[in-house]
Every structure is written in structure tokens, then in C-alpha cells.
Structure 1
Amino acid sequence: MAEHAEYTEITYRTADRIATVALNRPHARNGYTVRMADELADALGRADADDDVRVVVLTGEGTDFSVGADLSQGGFDFDSTEPGTQWQEPAGRVSKRVFTMNKPVIAAIRGAAIGGGITITLSADYRLAATDARFGFVFVRRGIYPEGASAWFLPKLVGLGRAMDWMISGRVFDAEEAHAAGLVQSVHEPERLLDAAYELAADLAANTAPVSVAVTRQLLYRMSNMDSPFPVHEVDSQLIASIATNPDSVEGVLSFLQKRPPEFRLRVGSDLPAFLPWKED
């Protein structure tokens, strides 16, 4: 397992085509800071640019994912921006980076996932929770506002009514309620949580085509909110027409017929279709 030591508030390691990005301030229950936000965004970008990485597991060291903003440090420095740039709140720096990923992201959450400690995971492809996980969009109980673009992501995951309940009340709720509402895909005993996340990551790495995953992930995020299906159909038509010259399509069919694991050759870094309307983002 390759581990990179240049981060101070997270850890980043790779093994078996999986990158693990972990919040690493367990003494502060992974309280969220600007440095942590920027390190997370950098690590996610590193994983996204590495064609040897197929899946990212996002988790926290210790017994909590994150209790949210570390208020003990006096809050965030709102003036520390480059001249001519607009300040970007720290949770959104990460949720936006996850949104633009070409690799699937699996969040493995145990203990507290409060405020920014849950909003940074809303753009992940999967959220797996431990039975001891506790969630809270507690902003109104602190006199502040939802961040991480959570007012956009959360209703798409659980519906507007449930999002209103959780955000307007600011109450804390358990893993069972989160699972029933669709916020998390599955619930596991704490000691089994990471194993479940890695089993899912290994399946995705072994059996899915990286370019196909990248395109499909962004199709869902970028085009599911269009006013009609017609623009989506236009992109679909270009994608399906490209199958004739797509070696991964041939390999997918052959491996299925020959009952063997696929060996997909196309890589996200070089082989994404040039006509994707969001590619320049």
C-alpha cells in the first residue's frame, strides 16, 4: 500500500486500484478546517488524475467521520482569498470536487457526521454507514446556513419533504432513519464498515469500465435535471454511435460471452469522448 505523507490533516493511500482518503484529526473528532478542506480537494484531484486509481473510499480516522466545523479555532478566515477571487466556503470546496470526479466515491461513515461532516459526502456515489453513525444538518441550531451545496444535493437524494424536515429542524438522526430515507445505501457494524466499503470498491474496480463509469456518473449528475429528455437523448445518440469504434464495448461483450473477467483498456485520462458537453468543466 502506497502512503503519501505530505498531508497534515488527512491521509491518502492507494492499493489494489483503490485510493483511501481519510480525515485525520481524531483527537478533535475530525473537526473540519480550511486546511482539511483544501487537502481533501487536493487528494481527490490526485486520485481523479491517476489512471491506476479506479475508486475512492472517503472515510475518517478514529471513531467519528466528522463533527463538522472546528469552532474551537475561532471559525474560518473569510478574507484569505487571492485578489480578484470570490471566497469559497470549505465544505463546498470538497463537495464540488467530488461532483466533478470521473471516479466513483464511496463514503464510509461511522460515529458523528454533522454539518460539513455530512454535506461533503452528499455528492459521493455511495454512502455506507455504521450502526453507530449519527447525522445532523444542524445549521439552524447554530444560527448559520446550509453549505456544501447541500440544499441542491440533499433533496435529490431523499426528496424535498425529508430534506426540509432535517434542515429546518436541525435535529440529529440515526443510521436507521438515514437508511430508510435513502441517504445511505447500507448499514454495517462498525468493525465491518470499511470491509464493506472495500468489497464494493473492489467489485467496481474489477467489473466496470472506467470510461463508461465516468460518462455515466456525469450523465446522471449533469443531465438528470434537464427540462426535457431531448438534450439527454442527443448525447446518448452520440455515445451509442461511438460504440462501433470503442474497444471496451467489444471487450465487455466478449468477456460476458466467454465467462471471464473483463480487461478494459480505455483510460479516463486520455479516452473520454471529446463531445461531452461538460468536458471543459
Structure 2
Amino acid sequence: MYTNIITSQEKEIVTITINRPSKLNALNKETIQELHQAFKEADEDKTVHVIVVTGSGEKAFVAGADISEFANFSVAQGEELAEKGHALLFDFVANLSTPVIAAVNGFALGGGLELAMAAHFRVASNNARMGLPEVSLGVIPGYGGTQRLSQLIGKGRTMELIMTAGMIDANQALSYGLVNHVTSQEELLPMTYKLAGKIAKNSSVAISSAIRAINAAYEDGVNGFKTEIHEFGVCFGTADFKEGTTAFLEKRKPDFPGK
């Protein structure tokens, strides 16, 4: 079905693996389109509670965008490339109602780090290397890198990382707050699935509300507190709230219907 990615499902968890090992899983136009489709399908499937995105092999999560595709673009084409990328993949993933965890195995550079940052949080293997080297090509990050990196690690560190086109290792990324956990290559997916399993036990409806409320804090002209109040109220009308509160009062584990 897909040329550049592999999807699999185990219980409530879908794994999307970018599979272009000869190109270090670089994002080309076709891969971005396939990723959009895979994320969309997983998000629309009510049996899916968590999505894990990772790269094939041990060298790279995604080592950037496929530069050969846009080396000769005009100003207008460059702007359109970024806008389409945001709509199809990067903003799309960030605003997905199903939680997305990036399992960063190796290099996450340029568009690769931008994809990892679009996920709701990140787990990295200890051989991971992250950076936005675009200024070394005479361009800037165009898939949300300037915005999401500063949201995650602050303005000063973002300025330095982007201006130097440098790379940081997994432990530095952890100390910056760019990733939540660092583990060995062997333990990367098991640990990510363990976290996904904890998420999957909770109300998928409430989690979707939480994603919208948290994201609202980073949107211009949107009052995050008002969004939280609204989403909090919405939860009271759900079957999951009824089940969650009933289970708590009856001292049993909830069995959320996901509605």
C-alpha cells in the first residue's frame, strides 16, 4: 500500500515507520503524502489510542528533507512547499486528536527534527543526534522548526542551535527538554510502547480534549485558559466521564467506551 513507510497495529497502538534506509529516511514529497494518509487513517480508527512514529534501521529517525526535490525552486515555490508541508504533515500531526509519540532512533535533522517536534512528545535512543542545519544551505527551517523548537527549549538555545547549524546529542536534548526520555537503542521501542500503553488505558476522549487545551496555549489570539474551561465542560457530556467517575466511586478500574 505504501512505498516509503510501514504501518502496523498492536492492540490500541499503531506504529508508523519511515522506511527509506538508503536515503536515511529523508522526507520527500511522496513520503510526506504517505505519512499524512497513515496518520489520518490511524486518527480516524476508533480502535487506535496512540500512534508511534519512528524510522527504520538504527542510523536515522529522519535525516532531513530530500534537498534534490527543491534545490531549483523559486520564492513562490519555496513558500508553497512550506505551506503544503505544514498542512499535510507538521501542523496536521501537532493537532491530531490521537496522541503521537516520536521514537527518535538516530539522526533527526531538519525536517526530521521538525516531524519529531510536531509529535506530542519524544523518546530518544542514546545514539540520537538532533539539529536544524538549514542555514548551512542558505535557507531556514520551513516546517515549523523556528516556532516549535523555541516553544520547547526557549529562544536563546533555539537561536544558537539554528544559527550554528549544530547538532546536539540525546543527553543534551534531554537536559534542554527537547526529549522526555533517553534510552538504549534496544530499549527505545519497548519503553515507548510502555508509555503508549499507559496512555491507552485512559479516556481517549479526555486525552483529545487535553491536546486541544495544551495546544491552545501556543496559538496567537487564543486564550488557553478559556479553551481549558470549555474542554473541561465538554468532558462532562461524555460517556467516558460517566464511566470514569462511576468506576472511581465503585472502586473498580474504568472500561472507557471512547465516546
- TM-score normalized with structure 1 length: 0.82
Equivalent residue in structure 2 for 1:211, among 202, 205, 224 = 205
Give matches, 1:79-98, under 5 Å.
87-89=80-82, 91-92=85-86, 93-98=88-93
Residue pair 2:209, 2:231 contacting (<8 A) in 1 also: no
Equivalent residue in structure 2 for 1:184, among 176, 179, 183 = 179
Residue pair 2:90, 2:144 contacting (<8 A) in 1 also: yes
In the TM superposition, residue 27 of structure 1 has moved relative to its aligned partner by: 2.0
In the TM superposition, residue 76 of structure 1 has moved relative to its aligned partner by: 6.6
Letter in 2 for 1:87: E
| Residues 154 and 141 (structure 1), Cα distance of their counterparts in 2 relative to 1, 3 Å cut | same
Equivalent residue in structure 1 for 2:64, among 65, 68, 93 = 68
Query: Within 2, Cα distance between the matches of 1:137 and 1:131?
Result: 19
Letter in 1 for 2:255: E
Higher helix residue share: 2
Equivalent residue in structure 2 for 1:157, among 152, 157, 162 = 152
Could you report, residue by residue, the CA deviation over 1:29-51 in whole angstroms, capped at 9, with x for unpaired residues? 11221111110111111111111
Query: Within 2, Cα distance between the matches of 1:225 and 1:94?
Result: 18
1:7 partner SS: coil
Partner of 2:39: 44
| Residues 245 and 218 (structure 1), Cα distance of their counterparts in 2 relative to 1, 3 Å cut | closer
| Residues 141 and 214 (structure 1), Cα distance of their counterparts in 2 relative to 1, 3 Å cut | same
Mind listing any 5+ residue stretches in structure 2 that lack a counterpart?
none
Letter in 2 for 1:218: R
Query: Within 2, Cα distance between the matches of 1:242 and 1:66?
Result: 37
Residue pair 1:91, 1:116 contacting (<8 A) in 2 also: no
Could you report, residue by residue, the CA deviation over 1:196-219 in whole angstroms, capped at 9, with x for unpaired residues? 11111111111x111111111011
Partner of 2:51: 56
* Percent identity (aligned): 30
Query: Within 1, Cα distance between the matches of 2:252 and 2:132?
Result: 45
Could you report, residue by residue, the CA deviation over 1:49-84 in whole angstroms, capped at 9, with x for unpaired residues? 11111100000111111111233x4547859xxxxx
Residue pair 2:14, 2:51 contacting (<8 A) in 1 also: yes
Question: RMSD of the TM alignment (CA)?
Answer: 2.3
1:167 partner SS: helix
| Residues 158 and 233 (structure 1), Cα distance of their counterparts in 2 relative to 1, 3 Å cut | closer
Query: Within 2, Cα distance between the matches of 1:18 and 1:88?
Result: 31
Query: Within 1, Cα distance between the matches of 2:237 and 2:63?
Result: 49
Mind listing any 5+ residue stretches in structure 1 that lack a counterpart?
1-5, 80-85, 268-281
- TM-score normalized with structure 2 length: 0.89
1:7 aligns with 2:5: no
Stretch moving more, 238-247 or 27-36 = 238-247
| Residues 51 and 77 (structure 1), Cα distance of their counterparts in 2 relative to 1, 3 Å cut | farther
